[in-house]
Structure 1
Amino acid sequence: MAKPAAVIQPIELVSADETITIEMTRWLQHLRAERRLSPKTLEAYARDLRQCLDFLCEHWGARVTLARFSSLEATDIRSFMAMRRADAIASRSLMRALAGLRSFGRFLEREGKGRVGALSAIRAPKIAKSLPKPIQISAAKRLTDADERAGETRETWVLVRDAAVMALLYGSGLRISEALGLTRRDVPQPGEGDVLIVTGKGNKTRMVPVLQNVLMLIADYVAICPYPLAPEGPIFVGARGGPLSPRIIQLTMERLRGALGLPDSATPHALRHSFATHLLSRGGDLRAIQELLGHASLSTTQIYTGIDTERLLEVYRNTHPRGRDAATSKS
């Protein structure tokens, strides 16, 4: 049985009175219980709203009340955004802050506590789209080989565990949280299955294939792990037997980057990029890759996989009737 969501403790702010803090607490509780947002997202939204309330308190010269907040003007929001940008805050963080403020405004409106129309009048900052940087196939394979770290003083089972996690990230395109969230019961024995049921963002589950050689790496780790692994417990555990922290895998990648001469962009998440990019470069269907990655939008997958323009042009030239005519006339 799933554990009930923890109750968010009442919030106290110097910059706002009780009418705001009560609604802010209720809003965060709603986001956790109904929207199932992650603790990190809740923390970021709460921080953004606090910063806005602190700014408004100074901007207006008085504590913020619910009534005053409901009468926000577009100029107030623009002033807050300008202040944040002056602090060298990235556009992506500004966009998240505006999204959080709009979410709070919509919550107040649904609850009949006011309508903050000014928030909808503000345009979200533009974000430059940057293509992910996949790891080369040869390097990705070496990252999943425990022998690459044979000179380290760490215990063998730890090296084998880390290699198994890396293989899972690259072999199935999982997010690190998805891989470390797997229980022993979730992972089939080699030869007894070839799919995983993964819980991704928004508590959505999806089926992803898993390679037999990856299952064998996981089985090798399980066989030498010094801790008992309960069927309902995490399959990947840390040095003391508790759930494995993502930070451990990040540090492992940092050490391997130095050993293999990889750039700083080679992170555990880059293995997910590599999974998608390498499938696409070998003729994988974009919509199938979208399903494997658990993306709601195909446009997200297009950016994620870093589609090669030259490859698209080649497909166009080889498949469009006029493109084939042009190629024939040159021969």
Structure 2
Amino acid sequence: MALKKTESGWLADSQPGGRGSKRFRKTFKTQAEAKAWEAWLKTQVNQDAKWQPEKRDTRKLSELIDLWHTHHGVSLKAGTDTYNRLKLACAAMGDPIADRFTVNTFTAYRTERLAAGIAPNSVNREHAYLRSVFNELRRLGQWNKPNPLAELRQFKVQESELSYLAADQIHELLSELQKGKNRHAAMVARVCLATGARWSEAESLEARHLRNDQIQFAGTKSGKVRAIPIEPELAQQLRSHHLKAETGQRLFAPCYAAFRDAVGRSGLELQDGQLTHVLRHTFASHFMMNGGNILVLQRSLGHANLTMTMR
């Protein structure tokens, strides 16, 4: 603190929080009053942290991502994949100091990604991943500053058209699958068409998941177990298929490539990104066209909300 005698009295000039903190100036009639005010300021600094200069967080962004993965991401089904994506994005941004990572840092990065031909949907996912890292670290007490991406809006992406197969297309596709060398592909496709399961869910089924003319799907995208009834005829075919298969407890061997080849041979024109997913759309569409209830369909598909089912 500096005291200076002026024409109007004693000028007290103080930065109670040290260099870089807020400066206070006040004029008093006497030197004693100025010194008493100085003592009061010092007690305020000691009692109230807001008077102190803000402390830097010198951790790297990669360290925050590691913390997120250790305390939260490791428990997620797709945690490892998300962690790897985050680390790649972090490296591409130069692994900035945590408290110097701003919305401008990320917007510059995503502009470069778009210029490189990366789809807006993919950039939006990276945005969501990074935003969730800061949100979760705040909940864990590992980050006490605002989320730098909280106010940044994602790109608005036009929804793609969802296609489904008509009855004659279904028969044509199953016929091509039967002709293929991989004997598992046709059965997996039939399971997807009968239950609305994702290809990965059907392909990873084990014998224990087939019981009382029902298929139980575990390890799903939502993390919830669901059971779907099937026709007794299909249940018997699945049991017979397992007896002939050499896949241990699993009902099927990997057969995605065989399905892709059969689609090519059949001449079906599908929307981008909807190869095996067209079977799920086909189940849902025919279910509703045949008078099904949309709430039952939501539970069958394992959707968390009705909006996705309605789409």
TM-score normalised over the length of structure 2: 0.72
What is aligned with 2:128? 99
- Judging by fraction of residues, say which structure has more strand: 2
Structure 1 residues 47 and 211, CA, compared in 2 at 3 Å: closer, same or farther? farther
User: Paired residue for 1:261, among 249, 263, 267?
Assistant: 267
Deviations 1:116-150 (A, max 9, x none): 4331111111011123111222222343457740x
Q: Which residue is 2:148 aligned to? A: 118
Q: 1:236 aligns with which of 252, 256, 268?
A: 252
Q: Which amino acid aligns with 2:165?
A: I
Any conservation in 2 of the 1:196–1:210 contact (CA below 8 Å)?
no
Partner of 2:30: none
Return the offset for 1:176: 1.4
Contact 1:198–1:206 (Cα < 8 Å) also in 2: yes
2:109 is the counterpart of 1:80: yes
Which residue of the partner structure matches residue 171 of structure 1?
194
Letter in 2 for 1:25: D
User: Post-superposition shift, 1:107?
Assistant: 3.1
**What is the identity, as a one-letter code, of the residue corresponding to 1:185?**
R
Q: 1:194 to 1:146 in 2, by over 3 A?
A: farther
2:164 is aligned with 1:134: yes
Within 2, Cα distance between the matches of 1:47 and 1:138? Answer: 45
Question: Aligned partners of 1:95, 1:175: CA distance in 2, in Å?
Answer: 23
Indicate the structure with greater helix content: 1
Distance (Å, rounded) in 2 between the aligned partners of 1:46 and 1:254: 32
Distance 2:290 2:63 in 1: 54
Please show how residues 138-157 of structure 1 align to structure 2 within 5 Å: 138-145=168-175, 148-149=178-179, 152=180, 154=181
Q: Secondary structure at the residue paired with 2:149?
A: helix
User: Which whole-Å CA distance do the structure 1 matches of 2:86 and 2:258 have between them?
Assistant: 30
2:98 counterpart residue number:
66
Summarize the Cα distance change of 1:216–1:100 in structure 2 as closer, same or farther, 3 Å threshold.
Answer: same
- The 8 Å contact of residues 67 and 114 in structure 1, kept in 2 or not, is answered as no
Q: Which stretch has the larger CA shift, 79-88 or 33-42?
A: 33-42
Residue 306 of structure 2 corresponds to 298
Contiguous gaps of at least 5 residues in structure 2: 1-57
Secondary structure at the counterpart of residue 207 of structure 1: strand
How far 1:206 moved relative to its partner? 1.4
Structure-2 residue corresponding to 1:33 = 74
Q: CA deviation at 1:196?
A: 2.4
> In structure 2, how many angstroms separate the alpha carbons of the residues matched to 1:300 and 1:166?
22
Asked whether 1:201 is paired with 2:212, we answer no
Which AA in structure 1 matches 2:160?
S
1:221 to 241, 244, 259: 241
- Residue aligning to 2:15: none
For the aligned residue pairs, the C-alpha RMSD in angstroms reads 2.5
Is the 2:194–2:230 contact (alpha carbons within 8 Å) kept by the matching residues of 1?
yes
Q: CA deviation at 1:38?
A: 5.0
Cα offset for 1:296?
0.7
Cα separation, 1, equivalents of 2:147 and 2:76: 23
Q: Alignment partner for residue 46 of structure 1, among 71, 82, 87?
A: 87
Q: CA separation in 1, counterparts of 2:99 and 2:160?
A: 41
User: In the TM superposition, what is the alpha-carbon distance from 1:234 to its structure 2 partner?
Assistant: 2.1
CA 1:39–1:66 in 2, change beyond 3 Å: closer, same or farther?
closer
Residue identity in the other structure for 2:105: D
TM-score by length of 1: 0.68
Amino acid aligned to 1:258: G
- The separation in 2 between residues aligned to 1:194 and 1:146, in whole angstroms, is 27
| Structure 1 residues 121 and 205: CA distance shift in structure 2, 3 A | same
Distance 1:278 1:40 in 2: 34
Rounded to whole Å, the distance in 2 between the matches of 1:214 and 1:287 is 25
- For 2:122 and 2:244, the matched residues in 1 are separated by 43
Counterpart code for 2:67: R
Q: Distance between the aligned counterparts of 1:40 and 1:290, measured in 2? A: 27
Conserved 8 A contact 1:106-1:115: no
1:181 CA drift (Å): 2.5
Report SS of the residue matched to 1:201.
coil
Identify the residue that residue 24 of structure 1 maps to in structure 2: 65
Among the aligned pairs, what percent are the same residue? Answer: 22
Alignment of 1:307-326 (within 5 A): none
- Give 1:87's aligned amino acid: A
